[in-house]
Structure 1
Amino acid sequence: MPTKIKVGQLQDDLRTKHLGRSILFSREVGSTNEWAKELAMYGAQEGTVVIAETQTRGRGRLGREWFSPNGGLWFSLILRPKLRPAEAAKLTFVAGLAVAKVLHEMFGLMVETKWPNDVLVNGKKICGILTEMNTTGEKVNFVVVGVGVNANFDVEKVFPEELIRVTTSLENELRRKVRLEKLFAGLLETIEKLYELYTRKGFNPVLEEWKGYAGFLGRRVEVTSPTEKLSGQALDVDRDGALVIRLKDERIRRVFVGDVSLQTSKE
């Protein structure tokens, strides 16, 4: 099975109503999110997708580098939701849930969501989501949702040594390569369904399903933010998308920005 995506087949399996009607492809870009934001600024319609075989300056949350070798699925989607900025930011959960559902339903993998933007398989990161938006006051001009799935490569052969322990890929988990065109179609169709659910019925149905994959809830965690490090029990993710934790002194804290890591024992 080919490692790389077959451009001519990207829309063959697609059964969406709006998303992916316009797809732009490049062998190599700096960042698909940067490319999509530029197109959105010039008026690209909602549902436009940009996809690349590799990114030379891929980014994760908080400006971190995102390693994007050949064989992965790296794409960004332009949305123009009629939502306030605080609500549009929750589209990260929509995309994360879509990835978790597709990897579980398509490949039978034991998938977990990790607050706020990661998808794990067997405790290792297989996908990251980066959501960025352009606003004017309380008006959202556009949102770009970037999705990066580690797919047709062996992480031990292509990833830096410091990432191998915490990262996996579909090839590592399945011991085979997958059709990237089929995976792309499944992801886009599921994102579209969940996006419609969110805009029609609000965040709660999406959040409740997302929490069904959230294996860290109820566990002892450490949360590292730009300003502090907290330890406690992860109680919930609330309707604002905040992580709710009980600290060792029994105080309850809501955290909006940070990285979660599991501690070894349950409370």
Structure 2
Amino acid sequence: MQTGKRNFRDTIFLNKRPDLLNPKKISNKLFTRTFGKNIFYFNSIDSTQDAAKKLEQNGAPEGAVVIAEEQTKARGRGDRSWFSPKGGLWFSLLLRPSLEPKEIPLLSLVFSLAIAEAIEKECKVICKVKWPNDVLLENPRLKNSFKKVCGILIEMSAESDKVHWVIVGCGVNVNNLLPKELIPKVVTLKEVLGKKVNRNVLLQALLKAMESFYIKFVQEGFSVFYNSYNQKSILQDKNILIEDYKNKTEGKFLKLDSDGSLILLTARKELKKFFSGDVSLHS
């Protein structure tokens, strides 16, 4: 007798099936309103972000997703190159939100929380978020050892009071190999779980969670996520180093403010507020 419950091992793990993304399979079992209803698949592409921008210019609807097996010229924040070979989840999501331009940076916090919770639920692992756009994964064999498993890039076109479009780029290390120079700070789901992950099932879970969080954010704002984000933040009570426009500031992470900014308590007992920057844990 079937209970209707999904079997964890039969869905999230690949077993002997080929590790290929299948847009039809993703869409068929994707119970969302708009996210992933239009999927544009590429075996290899320069950048899913650039492809999504072209689709936007051609009138693609909100929720359209560009996915690729590999990217050859992918980029992260600050135009840094993003290593994205076959085996990972590299996708860009097109949004046309009824939000003010000042609210858009909060999407990186909202989506990183959504992705962290979805990976936890689907893969039975522990994730943390790191301001402003990273998801970290714990290696259960090394307690409290967290490495980056996902990064998010937010790009938009807007006027002073109106947002035309937003493209959310997501890179998740799933079954892909990592270059030696990234191994100290980056991890894959395969490495932690010990088996290949079904990327089609995982992408379904991510898009479902992202849409749910997005709708709630548009309707109710960031306040509904504020406590959850702080609880899942790797920075809680940590000494950190933040690099912002070539300036480096050390201090203790005090809190995430309601507007999504980071509040730092410096060694001189000064409070400093940051809306962007690169953060690293500092001993």
Normalised by the length of structure 2, the TM-score is 0.89
Stretch deviating more after TM superposition (134-143 or 4-13): 4-13
Runs of 4+ in 1 over 3 A off after TM superposition: none
Give 1:24 deviation, angstroms: 0.5
- The secondary structure found in structure 2 opposite 1:11 is helix
The question of 1:81 aligning with 2:97 is answered yes
- The secondary structure found in structure 2 opposite 1:10 is helix
Residue number in structure 1 paired with 2:228: 209
The question of 1:18 aligning with 2:34 is answered yes
Pick the aligned partner of 1:102 from 118, 135, 158.
118
In structure 2, distance between residues paired with 1:225 and 1:161: 27
In structure 1, distance between residues paired with 2:23 and 2:207: 15
In structure 1, distance between residues paired with 2:159 and 2:53: 15
In structure 2, distance between residues paired with 1:130 and 1:35: 14
Give 1:207 deviation, angstroms: 2.8
- The secondary structure found in structure 1 opposite 2:109 is helix
Residue number in structure 1 paired with 2:143: none
Pick the aligned partner of 1:149 from 164, 172, 188.
172
The question of 1:116 aligning with 2:139 is answered no
| Structure 1 contact 104–110 (Cα < 8 Å) conserved | yes
Structure-to-structure mapping, 1:119-130, within 5 angstroms: 119-122=135-138, 123-130=146-153
The question of 1:192 aligning with 2:211 is answered yes
In structure 2, distance between residues paired with 1:12 and 1:176: 25
Give 1:93 deviation, angstroms: 1.3
In structure 2, distance between residues paired with 1:42 and 1:238: 38
The question of 1:93 aligning with 2:109 is answered yes
Unaligned runs of 5+ in 1: none
Stretch deviating more after TM superposition (199-208 or 45-54): 199-208
Cα shift readout 1:70-103 (whole Å, capped 9, x = no counterpart) = 0001111001111111102211112101110011
Give 1:41 deviation, angstroms: 2.1
Structure-to-structure mapping, 1:233-252, within 5 angstroms: 233-252=252-271
In structure 1, distance between residues paired with 2:120 and 2:93: 22
Stretch deviating more after TM superposition (70-79 or 88-97): 88-97
Stretch deviating more after TM superposition (7-16 or 136-145): 7-16
| Structure 1 contact 133–143 (Cα < 8 Å) conserved | yes
Percent identity of the aligned residues?
A: 38
Give 1:161 deviation, angstroms: 2.1
Residue number in structure 2 paired with 1:70: 86
In structure 1, distance between residues paired with 2:220 and 2:275: 23
The question of 1:57 aligning with 2:47 is answered no
Normalised by the length of structure 1, the TM-score is 0.94
Alignment RMSD, CA only? Answer: 1.1
| Structure 2 contact 149–173 (Cα < 8 Å) conserved | yes
Give 1:214's aligned amino acid. S
Unaligned runs of 5+ in 2: 1-13, 139-145
The question of 1:260 aligning with 2:279 is answered yes
The question of 1:132 aligning with 2:155 is answered yes
Stretch deviating more after TM superposition (160-169 or 126-135): 160-169
Give 1:239 deviation, angstroms: 1.9
In structure 2, distance between residues paired with 1:202 and 1:73: 28
In structure 2, distance between residues paired with 1:205 and 1:180: 29
| Structure 2 contact 23–39 (Cα < 8 Å) conserved | no
Paired positions, count: 260
Residue number in structure 2 paired with 1:225: 244
